[in-house]
Structure 1
Amino acid sequence: MAKNKKFEISLEEKLEKALVPVEEQPYKIPDNWVWTRLGGVIDIFRGLSYTKNDEVGDGYLVLRGNNLTDNGLAFLENVYVNEKVAEKGIKVKKDDIVLVASTGSSKVIGRACVAKEDYEKTTIGAFLLLCRPKENIAKNWVHYIFKTLRYRLYISEQAKGTNIKNIKNEYLENFYFPLPSLNEQKRIVEKLDFLFDKTKRAKEIIEEIKIDIENRKISILDRAFKGILTSKWRNENKTSDVKELLKFINDEKIKKWEEDCLQAEKNGNKKPKRPIIKEVEDMIVPVEEQPYKLPDNWIWVRLGEIINIFRGLSYTKNDEVENGYLVLRGNNLTDSGLAFLENIYVDEKVAKKGIEVKKDDIVLVASTGSSKVIGRSCVVEKDYEKTTIGAFLLLCRPKENIVKKWIHYIFKTLRYRLYISEQAKGTNIKNIKNEYLENFTIPLPSLEEQQEIVRILDEVLENENKVKELLELEERIDMLEKSILNKAFKGELGTKNSSDEPAIELLKKIL
């Protein structure tokens, strides 16, 4: 008898394999529902691997992580490959569910979007998975499973990793969920669609307000960095020569070098190399490279002249400890500032190879798959003991006699975001090199005017900063949606019908 011959197992054996034992069931469900595993009701397809050489100007669209948003599929920064390569992948069809299977973000891993139509010449990339519901499963039923808190927590637990998190097929196949009859599925989906249309509209209104606020912030920052906000102040106040500021920075470089030389001599070490000191005029950006005209007592310089840049720490899973030095990562940087969630710690010996985070440092995301997140920055509001940054981050430390928050506001400008978006290109992962920041041109006023501009921006933008309140409202809507889904998958939405056939009969048809 041939060794590779496959034997068809009986329906009873299939049911035994598909059904979840009572002792493993998370909670009680209606009597005519069953607990089963997701692998029994969906087919799973891995994404297509391809190289830069396979890309073409127009061909088969390859969906990637940035095409999947919380609001559905988005077709931005599209990548196309030739037909020969695309045929090795899976074609996206209506009601397919595409999800993020590999990413550095705990928030994004497992994110799922439903295909609302057949997409011609469209496949999925290597960092995605496609789930196709089998026959006798209601449209959108599986998609709502992927929106539940149980699924999100399960994937977060399963898809662990220091930097990159991955979903294996078996993670999805083994996830168990409650299955009602087909008619009950349809009724639940209809009610969920109705309720989620309401919450979606509420979120859209919030988003419109947030965009309006953001546009006003952009306008205010633009006026600040053109000297318009302080034009009257400038006429009424005497300021120091900004070129003296650059001279002071040079003097501080030499002073620091001399101190390091004395310390090296004291320790019996080799003296450090003398720093390169430019003439002040050479630190000013040539006229032909200046983006726009500035007030007479302002100058254009490159960001590298007024900050020091430090790369993040590389470490492995074996370096992690339960309590040691905190390593800031991409998910610690939010639009609202530093957040301390899903913290990672390494031992002191490893941490000492990195840079310790200090008050007024600016930490930014230097490597990510998200165009929206790349370059995101947060100012360090206080000294954090035993804290460093991970390999996907950069730390910018303003030099002496530069107002620290002035630099932070530079990273909030539209000019900076557009510049980083242009520089940090990449098919899947986008990276910021040190020279991108060093070469970015910025307008520099005197120290006194920097202080005045920061004072005005702090005051004006605080009045504009209603976003936190809107985020809290969004969180309440998210909690409402989770509560609705929780009730739906417990059979508590008021959609039950006693005349429905038991779900076990549906499962037999599917298997």
Structure 2
Amino acid sequence: MSKKKKTIDELFEEALVPEENQPYEVPENWVWAKLGYIFKQRKGQIQPTGNEMYVGLEHMNKGGGILEVGNAEGIKSKKVVFKKNDVLYGKLRPYLNKHAQVEFDGVASTDILVYYNKNIMTNKLLNMYLGLPQVLQYANENSNGINLPRVSPKAMDNMAFPLPPFNEQKRIAEKVERLLNKIEEAKQLIEEAKETFELRRAAILDKAFRGELTRKWREENSSIESALERIELIKQERFYIAETKREISEITEMFDELNTEECIDNNDWLYLKANMFCYNINCGGTPSKDISEEGEIPFLKVYNIVNNKVSFSYKPQYIPKEVHKSKLKKSILKANDVIMNIVGPPLKKIAIIPEEYYEMNMNQAIVRFRPIKYVLPKYLYYCLQYDETLRDVINETRGVVGQSNISVSQSRNLIMPIPSLEEQAEIVNK
């Protein structure tokens, strides 16, 4: 017995999404329809000859579009055929939000669904729609499989799609494209401005730490203590705060090796190793069993250093006060301590501990600089950002394949210029 053919009204009702399942309200002249009734899926597969343009999940961008086009040469398995203006959608997690409207014929991985409508403008709307968060949520909720979850073609066919009248489709697509183009133009301008900003910033730091910004100030303030007097003050203070015999031995060796003629420049600035004017420089540790999302002492990780500032609100973690005072005693952080990441990439993430945090701690990827009273924390903060300070260490790091680390020892031996406190303050202000 032949199957009864459905009427136009029955097919129309099947194609529409019931009101209770509609994601949000649309204008009266729009309809929520099931994707499979508006777009067809290309099912045809061929064995590539090797000359076809090939798109795999690795060639697609999560934000939409094709990153690059592959070549089917050497591919032995069959692939899905697609045509110019078709819409591709990655059905395999974690590639569910990869989508693109293609501008060429070719073949695609079988983990990519290929949709088409004879109306190119409708295809454009689909490609834009596939980038929305609700589509990703729908695909995630309707995925199955354990090792490599994927959304089925049938589930995607049943997904709700907001369909405007044809003329309105065209206006929407054109307006969205104009706005997206403006965003791309704005991105380009921002990148150019960032490049200019970084160059100018580097130039200011270079002038600051070569003494050019404060040349006139020095001429007007010649009565400040000499570099030789300054070195004695720093030396006395550094030995006074030393905590262990080993530390005393290390700083004794540093000061004994210091050549006073070579460490003083024409600006009457001292050039000293960081451990000569800081409390003993240390990195932190990671007591994995004691870290939690709630607790007593804030525990910093490298991702908490954003734009050279502490951003503890991002993925905050804590450790118990007992661990802070015992196992991680050497890496206690106080307000105005200067920190720097020593594990990258990228390196040179530097910040000052804000005054609202009385105490913090840090993991092993961060090193702490706590200057003695003859060096301003803000001065040290800027000095560490100056390219010359870390240039040699960074170059050594680049020379080792697969490595992007600075050791604690290298951090202690960083050489920095130390003018008088008054001039440091003037440099910071400028």
So what's the TM-score if we normalise by structure 2? 0.60
Equivalent residue, structure 1, for 2:336:
360
Unmatched 5+ stretches in structure 2: 1-16, 42-57, 69-75, 77-83, 105-110, 118-122, 139-146
Q: Please identify the structure whose Cα radius of gyration is greater.
A: 2
Equivalent residue, structure 2, for 1:338:
310
Look up the equivalent residue of 1:319 and give its one-letter code.
I
For the Cα contact (< 8 Å) 2:100–2:127, is it kept in 1? no
Give the secondary-structure state (helix, strand or coil) at the position aligned to 2:370.
strand
Instruction: Say whether 1:445 aligns with 2:419.
Output: yes
Give the secondary-structure state (helix, strand or coil) at the position aligned to 2:361.
strand
Instruction: Specify whether residues 25 and 278 from structure 1 end up closer, same or farther in structure 2 by C-alpha distance, changes over 3 A only.
Output: farther
Equivalent residue, structure 2, for 1:328:
300
Look up the equivalent residue of 1:218 and give its one-letter code.
A
Equivalent residue, structure 2, for 1:256:
241
Look up the equivalent residue of 2:270 and give its one-letter code.
I
1:469-492 deviation per Cα after TM superposition (whole angstroms, max 9, x unaligned): xxxxxxxxxxxxxxxxxxxxxxxx
Instruction: Specify whether residues 223 and 390 from structure 1 end up closer, same or farther in structure 2 by C-alpha distance, changes over 3 A only.
Output: same
Q: Structure 2 matches for 1:38-437, cutoff 5 A?
A: 134-136=114-116, 145=130, 148=132, 170=149, 179=161, 191-236=175-220, 237-257=222-242, 260=243, 274-276=248-250, 277-278=252-253, 280=255, 282-283=257-258, 294-307=265-278, 308-316=280-288, 319-335=291-307, 337-348=309-320, 349-352=322-325, 353-354=327-328, 355-369=331-345, 371=346, 374-382=347-355, 384-416=357-389, 418-419=391-392, 421-425=394-398, 430-437=404-411
CA distance in 2 between counterparts of 1:226 and 1:450 reads 12
Instruction: Specify whether residues 441 and 202 from structure 1 end up closer, same or farther in structure 2 by C-alpha distance, changes over 3 A only.
Output: same
For the Cα contact (< 8 Å) 1:283–1:302, is it kept in 2? no
CA distance in 2 between counterparts of 1:227 and 1:416 reads 15
Give the secondary-structure state (helix, strand or coil) at the position aligned to 1:199.
helix
So what's the TM-score if we normalise by structure 1? 0.52
1:422-475 deviation per Cα after TM superposition (whole angstroms, max 9, x unaligned): 3444777733322333343322323332232223x2xxxxxxxxxxxxxxxxxx
Instruction: Specify whether residues 24 and 275 from structure 1 end up closer, same or farther in structure 2 by C-alpha distance, changes over 3 A only.
Output: farther
For the Cα contact (< 8 Å) 2:33–2:160, is it kept in 1? yes
For the Cα contact (< 8 Å) 2:99–2:127, is it kept in 1? no
Instruction: Specify whether residues 344 and 200 from structure 1 end up closer, same or farther in structure 2 by C-alpha distance, changes over 3 A only.
Output: same
User: Which one scores higher on RCO, CA 8 angstroms, separation ≥ 6?
Assistant: 1
Greater alpha carbon shift after TM alignment, 217-226 vs 344-353? 344-353
Instruction: Specify whether residues 341 and 31 from structure 1 end up closer, same or farther in structure 2 by C-alpha distance, changes over 3 A only.
Output: farther
CA distance in 2 between counterparts of 1:24 and 1:325 reads 47
CA distance in 1 between counterparts of 2:360 and 2:372 reads 21
For the Cα contact (< 8 Å) 1:242–1:447, is it kept in 2? no
Give the secondary-structure state (helix, strand or coil) at the position aligned to 1:278.
helix
Give the secondary-structure state (helix, strand or coil) at the position aligned to 2:388.
helix
For the Cα contact (< 8 Å) 2:32–2:161, is it kept in 1? no
Unmatched 5+ stretches in structure 1: 1-19, 42-63, 76-86, 88-93, 103-109, 119-130, 155-167, 262-270, 458-511
Look up the equivalent residue of 2:352 and give its one-letter code.
V
Instruction: Specify whether residues 319 and 179 from structure 1 end up closer, same or farther in structure 2 by C-alpha distance, changes over 3 A only.
Output: same
CA distance in 1 between counterparts of 2:101 and 2:274 reads 44
1:350-394 deviation per Cα after TM superposition (whole angstroms, max 9, x unaligned): 44433232121112233344x3xx211111231513522234332
Instruction: Specify whether residues 279 and 149 from structure 1 end up closer, same or farther in structure 2 by C-alpha distance, changes over 3 A only.
Output: same
For the Cα contact (< 8 Å) 1:218–1:414, is it kept in 2? yes
Instruction: Specify whether residues 442 and 197 from structure 1 end up closer, same or farther in structure 2 by C-alpha distance, changes over 3 A only.
Output: same
CA distance in 2 between counterparts of 1:281 and 1:117 reads 71
Look up the equivalent residue of 1:445 and give its one-letter code.
P
CA distance in 2 between counterparts of 1:351 and 1:21 reads 58
Look up the equivalent residue of 2:415 and give its one-letter code.
T
Query: How many residues are matched?
Result: 349
Instruction: Specify whether residues 313 and 241 from structure 1 end up closer, same or farther in structure 2 by C-alpha distance, changes over 3 A only.
Output: same
Instruction: Specify whether residues 284 and 218 from structure 1 end up closer, same or farther in structure 2 by C-alpha distance, changes over 3 A only.
Output: farther
